[in-house]
């Protein structure tokens, strides 16, 4: 169903009953991102999945900043009668979840951040990342979604996905191709790592309990999350063997057990 937040409409799926868990997918993801691992979760809960700005059925809704998305998210939860949530966010969704927890601390009970970061620590790094994201946005708008996905599949961050079963690789490719070039370009410009606020100096202000999850083969995010664990006041970091950046897809059964244990 679509839910409006001011003049923007978001695709939202709301199922089940019990403690509320909000699912936020990563860049090029959708409401289907977590389906595989959720098949192995044996906990009753109310699942709310939101497709982020520029993605899938939400589609292009203008360039939405991280702060604006968090504001929209607070309105959507209010429309659903939800006062506070637990959030599972992957990559872009993890950055969004952490941002929401810092901007609306009374609305978040706990966080599971998979392969996520608090943004970039310096202005120099932010400027360089914005330049790279603009190049990706230009590629999307000039070459189209198919050419972009073909490029995106080859970046080193996703090397470990080469070993997925063919069925999972096909499903992932179909998900990536389901977006519009305009929508993904808007996402990069509005909610990219170089554009969002850097939360490094505010990690000690996070009130929610936090579970950090990374793959053993994802060296960049292992280092980031090791440092995050030190700076957060109530956090635990779990590393998953023989997994890369996309733990929920590469090791769905293992990821499900980690999530279940944290849910108790």
Write out pLDDT tens, residues 5-22.
Answer: 999 999 999 999 999 999
* Per-residue model confidence (pLDDT) at position 3: 97
Write out pLDDT tens, residues 163-215.
Answer: 899 998 999 999 999 999 999 999 999 999 999 999 999 999 999 999 999 99
Residue 25 has a CB neighbour count (10 Å cut-off) of: 27
Write out pLDDT tens, residues 35-58.
Answer: 999 999 987 899 999 999 999 999
Average pLDDT over the chain reads 96
* Per-residue model confidence (pLDDT) at position 160: 93
Domain with 165 in it: what CATH number? 3.40.50.1820
Q: How many domains does the chain have?
A: 1
Domain membership of residue 202 as a residue range: 2-263
| pTM recorded for the entire structure | 0.96
CB 239 within 8 A of CB 114: no
Helix (H) or strand (E) holding 184: helix 181-191
Write out pLDDT tens, residues 85-120.
Answer: 999 999 999 999 999 999 999 999 999 999 999 999
Residue (of 29, 26, 88, 33) closest to 260 by Cα position:
88
Largest Cα span, the chain: 48
CB 55 within 8 A of CB 183: yes
* Per-residue model confidence (pLDDT) at position 264: 64
* Per-residue model confidence (pLDDT) at position 206: 97
């Amino acid at each position: 169903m679509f839910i409006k937040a001011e003049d923007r409409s978001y695709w939202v799926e709301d199922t089940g009953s019990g403690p509320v868990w909000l699912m936020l997918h990563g860049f090029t993801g959708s409401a289907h991102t977590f389906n595989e691992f959720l098949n192995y979760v044996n906990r009753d809960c109310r699942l709310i999945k939101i497709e982020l700005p520029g993605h899938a059925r939400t589609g292009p809704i203008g360039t939405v900043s991280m702060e604006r998305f968090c504001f929209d998210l607070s309105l959507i939860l209010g429309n659903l009668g939800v006062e506070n949530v637990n959030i599972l966010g992957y990559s872009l969704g993890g950055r969004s979840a952490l941002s929401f927890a810092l901007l609306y601390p009374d609305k978040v009970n706990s966080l599971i951040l998979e392969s996520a970061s608090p943004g970039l620590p310096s202005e120099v790094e932010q400027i360089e990342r914005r330049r790279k994201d603009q190049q990706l946005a230009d590629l999307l708008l000039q070459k189209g979604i198919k050419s972009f996905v073909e490029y995106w599949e080859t970046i080193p961050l996703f090397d470990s996905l080469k070993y997925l079963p063919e069925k999972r690789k096909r499903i992932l490719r179909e998900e990536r191709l389901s977006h519009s070039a305009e929508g993904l370009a808007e996402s990069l410009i509005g909610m990219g790592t170089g554009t969002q606020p850097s939360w490094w100096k505010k990690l000690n202000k996070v009130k929610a309990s936090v579970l950090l999850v990374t793959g053993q083969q994802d060296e960049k995010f292992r280092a980031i999350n090791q440092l995050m664990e030190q700076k957060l006041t109530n956090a635990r970091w779990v590393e998953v063997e023989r997994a890369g950046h996309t733990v929920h897809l590469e090791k769905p059964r293992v990821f499900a057990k980690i999530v279940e244990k944290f849910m108790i």
